[in-house]
Amino acid sequence: MSDSERKNTLTIRDNRTGRDYEVDVLDGDVIRAMDLRKIKVHDTDFGMMAYDPGFTNTAFTTSRITEVKGGKGILEYRGYPIEQLAGQATYLEVAHLILNGELPNGKELDDFVDDVTFHTYVHENVLTILQGFRYDAHAMGMMISTVAALSTFYPEAKQVDDPENRRIQIVRLLAKMPTLAAFAFRHHKGLPYVYPENGLSYTANFLNMLFRIGGREYEPHPALVRALDVLFVLHADHEQNCSTTAMRVIGSSRVDPYSAMAGAMGALYGPLHGGANEAVLRMLTEIGTTDNIPAFMDSVRRGERRLMGFGHRVYKAYDPRATIIKRAADEVFEVTGRSPLLDIALELEKIALQEEYFVKRNLYPNVDFYSGLIYQAMGFPVELFPVLFAIPRTVGWLAQWEEMVVDREQKIARPRQVFRGHPRRDFVPIELR
């Protein structure tokens, strides 16, 4: 076809009627779902829709924040490759980038860090809420509830159309998530809460609130603080995943960001998403020794189990985050000693990268495969793993929420369904059923 004949449109032939329809092609290879609506057999028909369970081939939004090129294993925040950010930037620097679109200069970063540090305290009544949880409550359940409860402490957060109001709630959530997580952990342990220490960095302060005992100085090893920062950078955003979509969907009703984020956290908690890091560690513990790997892999091949920490909807190559995490794991193990579960993980990966079942399905390690081993080596209990995903993902959720709120093309999320239920029928009184 010559250039002059080439058009940025798609012609669709409806073989039910023999009619042709021409629809515009946008952004390279996207059509508007609403353009399908004009395809009808009768004028009174509703029109054509696309059926897409799990949104596997539906762009729900445009976005300028994060790009995942799944076939090539590339992840970029605002255009910057994840490898460069993880190697050279702090989490709060990356958070500023994700929220504002550009890397901060020195003054902007200082102001942002000050702002976040200033808001790390939570209202004392939040402690009363935590007291209501059983001693063995899962940290993620406590987090979801307390984040939702924050909406009642900041009722002005309802004013989602006010940019300054949005900004302050974003800073509050970024600042308070580590505090809430540490308090949930201390509740679980029955330990008194350690309040934020504002002279410390974001990650050092978090570790201090978690692990400090009594008046004794707690000095986390700098390599561990840095490793946690790297993990936070890797988890900061991942475009339209399950929890981010939940954030956008809930936020599209114009509810406050605390309520929307509690919903997003619920989505993250599931074992197929952010709960996978916890599931990986439980799986490795259950396998126990490398001798048990063949039987375990047999059950995966039979479809009875999933190899947790493997596979991804978008990546059909090695998840770039997993490569960085694997390197970070070595650095952490130098300080903490090697995890005995590492051998099992390495052997599982070796088998999976060679075996037809996994190769055919493009199943590679994802971000969750090695992160749990690091968290465990650093002393985090397994129930805290999804929380360690939620804290850094807060910035991604909020940046995506902000983008959605100001996007003039967005509307309340309200998908369609293909109804396959009973057609109309008349009510039958109970004595006649």
How many other C-beta atoms can be found within 10 angstroms of the C-beta atom of residue 34?
Answer: 10
Query: Using CB under 6 A as the criterion, which residues of the chain lie in contact with ligand CMC when the complex forms?
Result: 238, 241, 272-274, 276, 300, 306-313, 361, 363, 366-368
- The token pair that represents 405 in the structure block: 């709120």
| DSSP letter string, 358-385 | HHHTT--B-HHHHHHHHHHHTT--GGGH
Reference 83, options 325, 265, 280; nearest CA is: 325
Count of Cβ atoms closer than 10 Å to residue 190 Cβ: 7
User: Which of 221, 273, 343, 407 is an active site residue?
Assistant: 273
Q: Which is nearer to ligand CMC, 174 or 363 (CB)?
A: 363
Q: How far is the CB of 178 from ligand CMC (least distance, A)?
A: 21
Nearer Cβ to ligand CMC, position 2 or 56? Answer: 56
Catalytic residue among 187, 256, 312, 319: 312
Q: Which member of 368, 407, 422, 426 is catalytic?
A: 368
Q: What is the largest CA-CA distance in the chain?
A: 80
Shortest Å, Cβ 253 to ligand CMC: 24
Question: CB of 231: closest distance to ligand CMC in angstroms?
Answer: 13
Q: How far from the centroid of its chain's Cα atoms is residue 51's Cα? A: 25
The 10 Å CB-count burial string (b at 16+, else e) for 226-241 is bbbbbbbbbbbbbbbb
Q: Which amino acid is at 402?
A: E
Does residue 248 contact residue 411 with C-beta atoms inside 8 Å?
Answer: no
Q: Which of 406, 413, 313 is nearest to 64 (CA)?
A: 406
Cβ of residue 94: shortest distance to ligand CMC, in angstroms?
17
| Alpha-carbon 345 to chain mean position | 23
Residue 171 CA: distances (Å) to CA of 179, 182, 372: 13, 18, 28
CA atoms 152, 155, 161, 166: torsion sign: negative
Between residues 115 and 239, which has the closer beta carbon with respect to ligand CMC?
239
Long-range CB contacts (within 8 A, 24+) of 327-336: 328/227, 328/230, 328/231, 328/374, 329/370, 329/373, 329/374, 329/377, 331/223, 331/227, 332/223, 332/224, 332/227, 332/374, 332/377, 332/378, 333/377, 334/223, 335/221, 335/223, 335/224, 336/224, 336/377, 336/378
Task: Check if 312 is active-site.
Answer: yes
d(CA 287, CA 293): 7
Residues designated catalytic = 273, 312, 368
